[in-house]
């Protein structure tokens, strides 16, 4: 019998402990890592860092162990135990992951105002730039502008400096100080010009352009997007059209329709053209020009539909965009058109996702019967159950509890027919939480107890551990107490794990 950090008594009285016990008994390296990947973050949320560290150390796969130790170290830093955090980081074997762990611990220290400790850790790092950026963000937020500027000056890596400047500006915008954010964004734009990697420089300029709009400086936004466009035109790879389409939408939002049209005219990839037009349509709709929004959305669909297979660089991106266009038609009040477009998507998963979203939009629009008809087109029981739960949420949000419960009851019936045990367990988790939200604790408890039995039928021990860990969230959030029957079921898991 394998040695366990979790006692049998603990495992028989707590779902997460049972999940950990089962996970400890998994013999395969990958399976044990998968199980602990589900268990350890939940123990960290409970504050049990010592146990989490022991469980992380028990993982055989070095990469997975190092990733889990990083999580534990970061949580220790959050709980002001930086000494233990650094001990755990020292135990990480992979040099790259260890560097990341040092950075994350130092950033936690910086975010909490422990500037000296963060700087001390940064001094031991080969590449401390992002930590220095975190220190500067804290200093600026605390009102020590001179110190923040001095720290920023010490950053050598331009991308890290730009990131810090954007964070400082973003906090000011969030606090309503749009005027104060402008100088930081201007500095970010200057620093972005020093980024050597073309794609990273263009991406940063686009982000800065969007931030200038939030800061109510459309003129500066246009300048940033123009700099991004100029660099994007010189690219000779697949990213060119993506960035140009982003710039086109940025120009439109910043108030220059002429620049938007001129930029979109030089985009060649139809997926990116359609993506930009979808953004245009949303902007027009939000601006009150609904006719133009619908015309633009129709153009986006037409261009996408005309794209031949030989012209398609990324079929996954195209199918995802087609689903987004379908959902947007429903959002614009053209649900039948949306359903039609969703149904022609060659990716069944995208079709299901789009139809599910459209059905929820129909509930918001008080088209309950049509919403139910749309769900029926999904076919797959797992998708249907998930969509019905979505309808229940939408109905509750509009204040119609009776309809919400009706959809929830229907989802519960459909869930019984889901053949994949893992998928059925996930749906049952959601059902229990939704019933608990209605105050139907007995129903939630009944479903959750049935879920424990269901998980017992899963043959893969690592899968059992993951499902039990997920179910423990339901018991905690819905405040469900383990029944004697539940404890008996957990006893079965434990005895199997001991074999």
Percent of the chain with pLDDT over 70: 100
Band (pLDDT 50/70/90 cuts) for residue 4 is confident
pTM listed for this prediction: 0.91
pLDDT at residue 155 in the model: 98
What are the distances in angstroms from CA 24 to CA 12, 38, 184, 316, 452? 15, 12, 50, 38, 19
What mean pLDDT comes out for the span 343-369?
96
Handedness of CA 281, 287, 291, 292 (dihedral sign): negative
Two tokens, residue 44: 């960290």
Q: Is the pLDDT of residue 486 over 90?
A: yes
Residue pLDDT, tens place only, 109-154? 999 999 999 999 999 999 999 999 999 999 999 999 999 999 999 9
Percent of the chain with pLDDT over 90: 97
Handedness of CA 389, 390, 396, 401 (dihedral sign): negative
Phi, psi torsion values for 41, nearest 5 degrees: -60, -30
What mean pLDDT comes out for the span 304-312?
92
Q: Is the pLDDT of residue 367 over 70?
A: yes
Q: Is the pLDDT of residue 499 over 90?
A: no
User: Which helix (H) or strand (E) covers residue 348, if one does?
Assistant: helix 348-364
What mean pLDDT comes out for the span 336-362?
97
Band (pLDDT 50/70/90 cuts) for residue 2 is low
Nearest to 87 by CA among 49, 116, 114, 119: 49
Residue pLDDT, tens place only, 184-214? 999 999 999 999 999 999 999 999 999 999 9
Two tokens, residue 68: 């889990």
What mean pLDDT comes out for the span 344-360?
97
DSSP 56-115: HHT--SHHHHHHHHHHHHHHHHHTT-HHHHHHHHHT---HHHHHHHHHHHHHHHHHTT-H
Looking at every residue in the chain, the average pLDDT score rounds to: 96
Q: Are 215 and 181 in contact (CB under 8 A)?
A: yes
Measured distance CA(95)–CA(72) in Å, rounded: 17
Torsion of the alpha carbons at 326, 332, 333 and 334, rounded to the nearest 10: -40
Measured distance CA(355)–CA(103) in Å, rounded: 42
Nearest to 84 by CA among 69, 95, 99: 69
What mean pLDDT comes out for the span 164-187?
98
Q: Are 340 and 359 in contact (CB under 8 A)?
A: no
Nearest to 159 by CA among 215, 197, 110: 197
Directed axis angle between helix 115-123 and helix 129-141, to 10°?
170
Phi/psi region, residue 197 (left: phi>0; alpha: psi -120 to 50; beta: rest), is beta
Measured distance CA(276)–CA(262) in Å, rounded: 13
| 158 Cβ contact list (under 8 Å, min separation 6) | 191, 192, 194, 195, 196
The 10 Å Cβ neighbour count of residue 338 is: 26
What mean pLDDT comes out for the span 405-418?
97
Two tokens, residue 205: 């300029």
Two tokens, residue 181: 């954010």
C-alpha distance across the termini of the chain, in Å: 7
Two tokens, residue 22: 């089962």
Q: Is the pLDDT of residue 473 over 90?
A: yes
Q: Is the pLDDT of residue 1 over 70?
A: no
Band (pLDDT 50/70/90 cuts) for residue 379 is confident
What are the distances in angstroms from CA 358 to CA 40, 298, 317, 362? 37, 17, 20, 6
What radius of gyration do the chain's Cα atoms show?
27
What mean pLDDT comes out for the span 161-189?
98
What are the distances in angstroms from CA 76 to CA 38, 275, 295, 483? 18, 43, 54, 34
Measured distance CA(277)–CA(335) in Å, rounded: 19
pLDDT at residue 342 in the model: 98
Nearest to 491 by CA among 75, 113, 13: 13
Residue pLDDT, tens place only, 428-449? 999 999 999 999 999 999 999 9
The 10 Å Cβ neighbour count of residue 80 is: 13
Beta strands in 104-219 (DSSP E): none
Fold classified for 157-254: 1.25.40
């Amino acid at each position: 019998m394998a040695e366990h950090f979790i006692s049998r008594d603990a495992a028989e009285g707590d779902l997460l402990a049972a999940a950990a016990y089962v996970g400890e008994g998994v013999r395969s390296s990958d399976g044990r890592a998968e199980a602990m990947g589900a268990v350890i973050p939940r123990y960290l949320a409970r504050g049990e860092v010592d146990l989490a560290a022991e469980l992380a150390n028990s993982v055989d796969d070095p990469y997975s162990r190092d990733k889990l130790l990083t999580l534990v170290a970061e949580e220790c830093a959050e709980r002001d135990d930086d000494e233990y955090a650094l001990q755990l980081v020292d135990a990480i074997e992979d040099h790259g992951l260890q560097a990341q762990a040092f950075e994350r611990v130092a950033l936690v220290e910086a975010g909490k105002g422990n500037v000296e400790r963060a700087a001390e850790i940064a001094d031991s790092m080969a590449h401390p730039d992002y930590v220095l950026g975190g220190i500067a963000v804290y200093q600026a937020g605390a009102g020590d502008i001179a110190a923040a500027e001095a720290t920023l000056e010490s950053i050598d890596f331009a991308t890290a400096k730009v990131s810090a400047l954007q964070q400082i500006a973003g906090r000011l915008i969030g606090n309503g100080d749009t005027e104060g954010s402008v100088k930081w964004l201007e500095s970010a734009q200057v620093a972005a010009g020093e980024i050597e990697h073309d794609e990273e420089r263009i991406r940063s300029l686009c982000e800065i352009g969007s931030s200038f709009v939030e800061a109510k400086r459309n003129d500066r936004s246009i300048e940033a997007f123009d700099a991004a466009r100029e660099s994007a035109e010189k690219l000779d790879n697949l990213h060119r059209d993506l960035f140009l389409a982003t710039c086109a939408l940025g120009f439109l939002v910043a108030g220059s329709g002429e620049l938007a049209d001129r930029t979109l005219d030089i985009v060649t990839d139809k997926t990116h053209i359609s993506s930009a037009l979808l953004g245009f349509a949303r902007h027009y709709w939000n601006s009150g020009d609904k006719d133009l929004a619908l015309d633009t959305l129709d153009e986006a669909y037409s261009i996408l539909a005309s794209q031949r297979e030989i012209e398609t660089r990324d079929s996954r991106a195209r199918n995802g965009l087609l689903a987004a266009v379908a959902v947007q038609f429903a959002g614009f009040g053209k649900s039948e058109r949306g359903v039609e477009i969703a149904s022609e998507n060659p990716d069944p998963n995208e079709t299901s996702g789009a139809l599910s979203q459209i059905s929820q939009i129909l509930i918001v629009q008080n088209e309950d019967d049509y919403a139910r008809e749309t769900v029926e087109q999904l076919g797959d029981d797992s998708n249907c159950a998930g969509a019905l739960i979505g309808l229940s949420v939408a109905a509750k949000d509009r204040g119609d509890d009776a309809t919400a419960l009706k959809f929830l009851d229907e989802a519960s019936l459909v869930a019984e027919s889901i053949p994949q045990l893992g998928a059925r367990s996930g749906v049952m988790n959601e059902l229990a939480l939704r019933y608990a939200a209605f105050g139907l604790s007995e129903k939630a408890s009944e479903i959750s107890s049935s879920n424990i039995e269901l998980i017992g039928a899963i043959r893969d021990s690592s899968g059992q551990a993951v499902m039990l860990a997920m179910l423990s969230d339901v018991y905690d959030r819905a405040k469900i107490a383990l029944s004697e029957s539940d404890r008996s079921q957990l006893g079965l898991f434990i005895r199997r794990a001991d074999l």
